[in-house]
Amino acid sequence: MNWITIPLHKVARLESGFGFPREFQGDENQEFPFFRVSDMNIHGNEIFMVNHTNTVSATVLEELGARVFPHGTVIFPKIGAAIATEKKRILVRPATYDNNVMGAVPKECVNPKFLYYWFSQLKLTEYANPGHVPSIRKSVMEEIPFPVITSLEQSRIVEVLDEADRLRKLRRETDAKAARILPSLYLKMFGDPATNPKQLRKKPLGELIKVKSGNFLPAKDMAAEGTFPVYGGNGVSGYHDSFMFEERKVVLGRVGAYCGAVHYSLPNSWITDNALYVYEKLEFLDDYYLVAALEQTNLNQYAGRAGQPLISGSRIYPVEILVPPENLQIEFSQSVSKLLVIDEIRVSASARLDQLWELLINRAFSGQLTAKWREDHMKELLAEMEQQARALNLPSSIEGRV
């Protein structure tokens, strides 16, 4: 299969957004949503830009020299670190967006959802100008090759990918529910630490544990795969050819964005100086229980803020946690162990679903996904392709290219 390709600007108009001064922000009751990059992170905006935090009137639009874009416009970040998040979204109503965003307004020959899925497999970072502040130029985006596919086939591809994405959405919902199970189990067994309704012992961490910083490990000495996991502030950050500890350790993010994050390492692992680890317990504390109790405290709130967040033993030792009887900790640990087995199966299934999604979307835009369907609908496709070729000023002889 050999699809014709043409520059993206032939099928979609690339438009940058507009400046949005602070004095015009915060009004949620006007006619037109005014989206910022951060709005792409709002729950419910995973594909369609349904929710918003700012709106403007037609009068304000005119004052700002801005205009609205139609529903179906595909938007994405165009400046800064947000480009690397690879977020793409679709406008569902006439709206505008700020100057950190770029949009692709589809022409009549393009199904907006098809354009969105095409953008989904596009790596924005590959088209960004390198530098201290990366950015994407409109002129660069306009020349990206875009496949010329009939509306019928676009709709078929969208139909298949929509169903696959529905399964991914269900998986995300399951993941969110799974993340709530352990905190709920903790509260059910021990109650809210703030009110301590079960009148359990409370002690400061300094009377229960001692922590140390991990050992520095240069990035060049870590590999993406290997035998012994290396733990940083937010779990495994790579692999090394040796390990620091044979036994499992409770690990706390020490610095930066993951300051205060809590997890436990696998046996035979390395812990970097981006993390603290518990090297001594002064009385019985089950690892699974300790991690759950520390997560309840939100350790990040005790971090120093000079430059970037930073925690140390001296900062967290005064923090009090509940200390249930040993038998209750063991009961909690046994429940957690069972949940982790189930969770491992769920994570493995999620990974397979992600792999299938990548395979599907790659096949969709290589022509393989709809190859058999195309054979069954060749007559209609040829007629539509001829009409499309005339509309786009393409060569009219297109047999053998669909």
What pLDDT score was predicted for residue 55?
96
Q: Which residues pair with 310 in a beta bridge?
A: 255, 304
What pLDDT score was predicted for residue 393?
67
Residue 352: pLDDT band (50, 70, 90) is confident
How many residues are present in the chain? 402
**Kind of pairing between the strands at 128-129 and 101-106:** unpaired
Question: Does 400 score more than 50 pLDDT?
Answer: no
Q: Which two tokens stand for residue 65?
A: 């020299």
For the range 377-384, what are the long-range contacts, defined as Cβ-Cβ under 8 Å and sequence gap of 24 or more?
377/152, 377/153, 378/402, 380/152, 381/150, 381/152, 381/153, 384/150, 384/151, 384/152
- The closest alpha carbon to 151, from 103, 112, 122, 104, belongs to 112
In contact, 174 and 168? CB cutoff 8 Å: no
Q: What domains sit in the chain, N to C, each tagged with a CATH number?
A: 6-146 (3.90.220.20), 201-323 (3.90.220.20)
Cα-trace Rg, the chain: 27
Lowest mean per-residue pLDDT among 17-21, 290-294, 362-366, 391-395:
391-395
What pLDDT score was predicted for residue 196?
96
pLDDT per position as a tens digit, 148-197: 888 889 999 999 999 988 888 888 888 888 888 999 999 999 999 999 99
- The closest alpha carbon to 13, from 169, 157, 138, belongs to 138
- Please name the helix (run of DSSP H) or strand (run of DSSP E) that holds residue 231, with its range, or none: strand 228-232
Tell me the pTM.
Answer: 0.71
In contact, 61 and 32? CB cutoff 8 Å: yes
**Choice between 300 and 326, residue whose per-residue pLDDT is larger:** 326
* DSSP string across 336-383: HHHHHHHHHHHHHHHHHHHHHHHHHHHHHTTT-TTHHHHHHTHHHHHH
What pLDDT score was predicted for residue 399?
44
Question: Does 316 score more than 50 pLDDT?
Answer: yes
Query: What CA–CA distance (Å, rounded) separates 402 from 397?
Result: 11
Locus of tokens 């359990």: 200
End-to-end CA distance of the chain: give it in Å, rounded.
Answer: 6
